[in-house]
Amino acid sequence: MCMKIALIYRGNYIRKKGRFTFFNIIDNHKSMLIKHLPNCDLFFSTTPNNTETDEKLLQLLDWKKTNFTTNNTCVFDSVASSLNFYDFSEYDIIVNLRFDLKFNKSIPNFDIDYEKFNFLWLEPTNFNQNGNTRVCDLMYVFPIKYMTNFKNIDLEDSEVRYTQNQIIGPPDQTHHLLQFLHLDKETEVNFVIPGHHPSGAERPDSVAESFIKIDRGR
Kindly calculate the radius of gyration of the chain based on its CA atoms and give it in whole angstroms. 17
- Sheet of 40-46, strand order: 63-68, 40-46, 5-11, 93-98, 139-143, 117-119, 189-191
pLDDT interval class at 19 (50, 70, 90): confident
Estimate to the nearest angstrom the gap between the alpha carbon of 83 and the chain centroid.
11
Q: Residue 204: its pLDDT value, please?
A: 77
| Residues contacting 101, CB < 8 A, separation 6+ | 25, 138, 139, 212, 213, 214, 215
Q: 142 by DSSP, 3-state: which?
A: strand
CA dihedral (103, 92, 5, 74) in degrees, to 10, reads: -60
Residue 193 has pLDDT above 70, yes or no: yes
User: Does CATH number 3.30.420 belong to domain 5-214?
Assistant: no
192-199: average pLDDT: 92
Distance CA 76, CA 217 (A): 23
What are the extents of the domains in the chain? 5-214
Q: 10 by DSSP, 3-state: which?
A: strand
Residue 170 has pLDDT above 80, yes or no: yes
Percent of residues, the chain, with pLDDT higher than 70: 96
Q: Residue 103: its pLDDT value, please?
A: 98
CB-CB contact of 216 with 18 (8 Å): yes
18-24: average pLDDT: 89
pLDDT interval class at 40 (50, 70, 90): very high
CB-CB contact of 113 with 190 (8 Å): yes
189-198: average pLDDT: 95
Considering only the C-alpha atoms of the chain, give the largest distance between any 2 of them, rounded to a whole number of Å.
Answer: 49
- The one-letter amino acid code at 165 reads N
Residue 176 has pLDDT above 80, yes or no: yes
Direct distance between the N- and C-terminal alpha carbons of the chain, in angstroms, rounded to an integer = 36
41-46: average pLDDT: 98
Q: Residue 128: its pLDDT value, please?
A: 62
Q: Residue 127: its pLDDT value, please?
A: 67
Residue 181 has pLDDT above 60, yes or no: yes
Of 14-28, 42-56, 133-147, the poorest mean pLDDT is in 14-28
Q: What predicted TM-score, i.e. pTM, was given to this entire model? A: 0.95
CA dihedral (148, 151, 152, 154) in degrees, to 10, reads: 150
Neighbours of 46 (CB within 10 A): 23
Q: Residue 113: its pLDDT value, please?
A: 98
Residue 18 has pLDDT above 80, yes or no: no
| pLDDT tens per residue, range 87-136 | 999 999 999 999 999 999 999 999 999 999 999 999 988 766 677 789 99
| Residues contacting 18, CB < 8 A, separation 6+ | 216, 217, 218
Q: Residue 202: its pLDDT value, please?
A: 61
- Give the residue, 110 or 168, on which the prediction is more confident: 110
